[in-house]
Amino acid sequence: MSDQPLHRTLGLTDDEALRITELMGREPTDPELVMFSLMWSEHCSYKHSKPLLSGFPTTGPRVVMGPGENAGAVDVGDGLAVVFKVESHNHPSAVEPFEGAATGVGGIVRDILAVGAKPICLLDSLRFGPLSSQRSRHLFTRAVAGIGHYGNCIGIPNVGGEVSFDDRYEDSCLVNAMCVGVIPHDRILSCAARGIGNRLVLIGNRTGRDGIGGASVLASAELGEDDADKRPSVQVGDPFTERKLLDCCLDLSDRGLLVALQDLGAAGLTSAASEMASMGGVGLAIDLDRVPLREQGMAPAEVLVSESQERMLAVVEPGRMAEVVALAQRHELEATDIGEVTDTGDFEALWRGDEVVRIPARLLTDDVPMYDVPRTPAPAAAPVDLADLPEPADPSAAWLTLMANHNVASKRWVFEQYDHLVGAGTVRRPGGDAAVVLIPGTNRAVAVALDCAEWHCELDPRAGGMASVLEAARNVACTGAVPIAATDCLNFGNPEKGSTGWRLAECIGGMADALRAIDAPIVSGNVSLYNESPGRVIYPTPVVGIVGLLEDASKSVGHAFQHPHDVVLLIGYGEPRVDASQYLGRAEGSPPVPDPVRESALFRLLATAADQGLLASAHDVSAGGLAVTVAESAIAGGVGADVAVDSGRRADETLFGEGGGRVVASCRPDHVDALLALAGAGIGVARVGTVGGHEVTITVGGSVARVSVADLARVWEGSIPEALEAT
């Protein structure tokens, strides 16, 4: 047994332990101290990041519900709101990838369910070490299997996301999951408990020891050599019960039987009940002996902080209890009255008739200590000197090599394990710029994308934060949708070490600048810190989810070239640069600083062009640059293209350099003039080629790169499967 005081074993500092005693006016009981340790952990309290998050724009004419609830909601017309959020399950996935990733999906679905919304799609953002590593291959394949298993079983389509590989994620992989749902405005549920005397009802699975301490043991500390010892802190998922829980809660909500609803996620009953009480300005009294248990001999602290999955906590009027219990039984679930709403403002818990917990709820949620992170700037990055980078003797061979890069190559191996068509609402499937999903009961659709520019964030975090927002928004805009709102998952290392705190602050500042420029407020989000080991710290990885609106789903645009003789266009602004590009192969140099104002103009141009039916395809120029973008459109359409660009730059920089603000599009020849007329100041529309044939040819000055569509597809599609088969 450890000789340390209990509070240190639980992850609380000496000062925090002293503060708890001062706030309580007495020494806390052991269960109370455990509760404080979870609620004051980084994962639950954001004690290092919350002071920085106030810089985000969070309001706007479409915002129905912003940050603070389980998920954000934005108006999409006809009294409907789209609800969405992205959240991390990084540390659990590094310890037990299948269950960690699977329960990440389950948790984000319950966040949407807690608002009363019906989930319509899932996305995921994944980062692992290189596939040459046996550990990373294991984490990658098992995490993807867990996501696919859980999502497929509950019947929610997984329609998009991103995957990348880098040595910096070898020890600390990232598994971020996003869910989108739909609900009428007047049926949105809050987690705020209200109504003195109303009953507190636990719905779903029984409570066990799985997941105990997950928020502090896993999600709020660095990983080390004893990772295997943390497996008991990883939750175990049951997607079939989740499906029943989803149907039951939607049924209860439809019948108006719920006053409030909350997911039991990190810190379990402690978090759910204290947040409900604090949000509602009331107290909650719980009899722990009434909580249905899966295991015998559990201590009160274990019952309070268990993170057993597939559980929801509801507030129900006493006169509706019989209806709630009967409806839950119809869905083959337990609904148990475990307590009531009180006027004390306290979180109270009884165990075998004795009071073991009495804490003012606000102490757990509102009076958390906040810390200013050190902001030590990293040295400014120097631009790459092209003189130090040999120009390839054979640009065609260099092109094929880049197509095989695992960060560029097709992610079909991943998304073919997901059911992306269940529910019959998927308009644009995985593999393009953004997913497009119908809003049920309408002819409108949402376009959704997740993205991040982590190498850019490492080198210039403010510009990288902007680039992360704009990359995701540009993906959405390529479908013809107008970006309307955002969610984010801020994945960083230890904010108290090195320049991590500075990068966190700078990335948030850059993201906020870009979000304001494109008028897409943040309505929900998550922060995941301490993603590092003694040997490696991850890149600053602020994953951004953008939701866009299409007024007419039938007008959505894909990325595939469509017809021979269509004109290939390069639309946008800016010049390519090899700095921090996949062609360079490392986070080095000084990437181009994006221009959010010009990006916003580009998005409007794409939306207007799509609405007027002027675009046959549109594809964002991103990883791999112009050559990869043209190749991907050709592969998707099964047809070649002949492109010529005279940029005045070195051929490999033009072919493979990266930088935001550019889109490769195609259109009918008689639509070119209309597109030129739509382009405003600073947004160029250049005719650069023609669709057709069985090869893709790109000419830059006197240099020609030419590869058949079949060879491009073979290399691009086969790269990741071949790496996994070679194990």
Catalytic residue among 7, 43, 420, 619: 43
pLDDT of residue 227 exceeding 70: no
What the block records as the tokens of 76 is 């999409």
Share of the chain above pLDDT 70, in %: 97
Terminal-residue alpha carbon distance, the chain: 41
**CA pair distance 244, 144, nearest whole angstrom:** 23
Instruction: Write down the pLDDT at residue 230.
Output: 46
Q: How many CB atoms lie within 10 A of CB 304?
A: 29
Report the share of the chain in percent with pLDDT over 90. Answer: 92
Residue listed under structure tokens 């997740």: 450
Interacting residues of 60 by C-beta distance below 8 A, sequence separation 6+:
485, 519, 521
* Among 89, 91, 149, 420, the one annotated catalytic: 89
CB atoms within 10 A of CB 60: 17
pLDDT for 680 equals 74
Q: At what angle do helices 709-725 and 395-403 cross, to 10 degrees?
A: 40
User: Which contiguous run of DSSP H or E holds residue 465?
Assistant: helix 461-477
Q: Are 421 and 156 in contact (CB under 8 A)?
A: no
Whole-number Å distance between alpha carbons of 670 and 664: 18
Pairing of strands 118-128, 158-165: parallel
pLDDT at position 424 = 77
Q: Output the pLDDT for position 216.
A: 45
Q: Which H or E run contains 151?
A: helix 134-154
CA 131 – CA 133 distance, rounded (Å)? 5
CATH of domain 557-727: 3.90.650.10
pLDDT at 221 (0 to 100): 53
- Which 3 state secondary structure label does DSSP give 373? coil
CA gyration radius for the chain?
Answer: 26
> What CA–CA distance (Å, rounded) separates 149 from 144?
8
Extents of the domains making up the chain: 193-366, 557-727
DSSP summary character for residue 5: -
Residues 343 and 196: their CA atoms lie apart, in Å, by 6
Element (H, E) at 85: strand 80-88
pTM higher than 0.85, yes or no? Answer: yes
pLDDT of residue 671: 97
User: What's the rounded mean pLDDT across residues 200-218?
Assistant: 79
Report pLDDT digits (tens) over 55-85. 999 999 999 999 999 999 999 999 999 999 9
Q: Answer for the pair 578, 628: CB distance below 8 angstroms, yes or no.
A: no
Mean pLDDT for the chain overall:
94
Catalytic site includes residue 43: yes
pLDDT-derived band at 217 (thresholds 50, 70, 90) equals very low
Q: How far apart are CA 479 and CA 559, in angstroms?
A: 8
State residue 222's pLDDT score.
61
Active site residue 7: no
* pLDDT category of residue 229 using cuts at 50, 70 and 90: very low
Give pLDDT tens digits for 509-551.
Answer: 999 999 999 999 999 999 999 999 999 999 999 999 999 999 9
Domains 193-366 and 557-727 share a fold: yes
Q: How many residues does the chain have?
A: 727
pLDDT at residue 357, as a whole number: 97
Q: How confident is the model at residue 420 (pLDDT cuts 50, 70, 90)?
A: confident
CB 308 within 8 A of CB 233: no
Q: Look at residue 231 in the predicted model and tell me its pLDDT.
A: 43
243: confidence class by pLDDT, cuts 50, 70, 90:
very high
The arrangement of strands across the sheet holding 158-165 comes to 63-65, 72-77, 80-88, 174-184, 118-128, 158-165
pLDDT at 239 over 70: yes
| CATH 3.90.1300.10 correct for 193-366 | no
Confidence of residue 210 (pLDDT cuts 50, 70, 90): confident
Using an 8 Å Cβ cutoff, are 671 and 414 in contact?
no
Which stretch, 108-122, 206-220, 226-240, 643-657, has highest mean pLDDT? 108-122
Q: Which residue has the tokens 């636990």?
A: 202
Residue 1: pLDDT over 50: no
Report the pLDDT averaged over residues 319-346: 98
pLDDT tens digits, 549-596? 999 999 999 999 999 999 999 999 999 999 999 999 999 999 999 999
Contact 625, 657 (CB under 8 A): yes
Q: Which amino acid is at 388?
A: D
The phi, psi pair for 528, rounded to 5°, reads -130, 105
Question: Region 255-278: what's the mean pLDDT?
Answer: 96
Tokens 């250049």 identify what position? Answer: 686
The helix/strand/coil state of 695 is: strand
359-381 as b/e: b if 16+ CB within 10 A: bbbbbbbeebeeeebeeeeeeeb
